Amino acid sequence: MTIRNTAEKIKRLEVQGARNVAIAAIEAVEALAEETKAKSKKELLRELSEAKAVLFASRETEPLMRNAVRWITSQVERSGKDKVEELTKVVSSVSQQFLKNLEDSKEKIAQIGAKRIKNDSVVLTHCHSSSVTHLLKEAKRDGKSFEVICTETRPFFQGRLTAKEMSELGVKTTLIVDSAARFFMNQVDLVIIGADAITSQGNVINKIGTSMIALVAHEARTPFYVVSELLKFDPATMYGDYERIEERSTKEIWEEPPKNLIIRNPAFDVTRRDFIHGIICEEGIISPHSIIEVIHRKYPWVFG
């Protein structure tokens, strides 16, 4: 039940942000193992496989969550233990270690990225990313004085979450409509956005509108940075698959539209690597062109 409840919350966007989605899925898998009625390793693995399918179906563009669940399942499969009680402990220990690694990565990313923010900088961001806001909070803790411009991010206005956090932090914050990004770009020193997925080509999938902002930043010669854990890399894109772009309900845009009106509501878009100044990750600030090399070095198990 925990798995299905978590999947529904992810579908309804009650859980937002790739990191938070991954954490919710990990905790749900851990709860499943604690509550399991499985009598054998085979039965537990079947339960984990079913849970994986349900969680994966909840959101198409969530490789961090998929990589986390894959890792936990693989560790149970490879474990030399056969008793369910022992395997439950394996799930718990592996889950806790993954969560700790995520938290460590978040801190490293914030420390690295905060150095790119100088006094009196103006930073533009799009949507809401806990990694981005943590980076900005780190810059504030370092004593930096800077401004933030947040897009409202239609249709769910996640940019308001960023604006609220920054305002409460005491940072001068301006909220703008998405289509005003070009109007303000010449006042901006750098753009910092999060990511939902990174492809084998180094392209980034993020909230719809991100690629438009990247194009505007490129035209204005404004550095455009992506803040992301490396485990948002999608290994399926190595083998020819495209990262799927989720299309959500049209009611999010217009509840009662005119008859016969076509409405499209893609949740994400693809930003080409050519427009990305650098990916701020736990290994430093890397070129999107080098993503496969860095993943091979840091997380070789992803390709298994």
User: pLDDT per residue over 5-18, tens digit each?
Assistant: 999 999 888 888 88
Domain carrying residue 6: 2-107
Catalytic residue among 82, 104, 127, 269: 127
pLDDT-derived band at 283 (thresholds 50, 70, 90) equals very high
Catalytic residue among 120, 150, 189, 196: 196
The enclosing H or E element of 135 equals helix 130-141
Q: Are 185 and 216 in contact (CB under 8 A)?
A: yes
Residue 292 and residue 236 in one domain: yes
Task: Mark whether 127 is an active-site residue.
Answer: yes
Residue 25 and residue 165 in one domain: no
> Could you give the number of structural domains in the chain?
2
Q: How is residue 227 written in tokens?
A: 């803040």
pLDDT-derived band at 304 (thresholds 50, 70, 90) equals confident
- pLDDT(2) > 90: no
Q: Given this model, what pLDDT does residue 119 score?
A: 97
Q: Given this model, what pLDDT does residue 26 score?
A: 95
Maximum CA extent, the chain: 63
User: pLDDT per residue over 14-57, tens digit each?
Assistant: 888 888 999 999 999 999 999 999 999 999 999 999 999 999 99
Residue 81 and residue 143 in one domain: no
Domain boundary among 87, 107, 127: 107
CATH code, domain carrying 52 = 1.20.120.420
List the beta bridge partners of residue 125. 150
Residue 90 and residue 134 in one domain: no
Domain boundary among 72, 89, 107: 107
pLDDT-derived band at 231 (thresholds 50, 70, 90) equals very high
Residue 141 and residue 280 in one domain: yes
Report which residue type is found at 293: E
Residue 229 and residue 287 in one domain: yes
CATH code, domain carrying 138 = 3.40.50.10470
Task: Mark whether 196 is an active-site residue.
Answer: yes
User: pLDDT per residue over 115-156, tens digit each?
Assistant: 999 999 999 999 999 999 999 999 999 999 999 999 999 999
The radius of gyration of the chain from alpha carbons, rounded to an integer in Å, stands at 20
Q: How is residue 250 written in tokens?
A: 């049209």
Q: Given this model, what pLDDT does residue 1 score?
A: 62
Above pLDDT 70, what percent of the chain?
Answer: 100
Residue 28 and residue 130 in one domain: no
Residue 174 and residue 70 in one domain: no
Q: List the beta strands (DSSP E) in the chain.
A: 121-125, 146-151, 172-176, 190-193, 197-198, 204-207, 224-227, 268-271, 278-281, 284-286
Q: Given this model, what pLDDT does residue 238 score?
A: 87
Residue 154 and residue 25 in one domain: no
Residue 61 and residue 207 in one domain: no
Domain boundary among 81, 107, 133: 107
Residue 200 and residue 292 in one domain: yes
Residue 165 and residue 205 in one domain: yes
Residue indicated by tokens 């949740």: 267
pTM of the model: 0.92
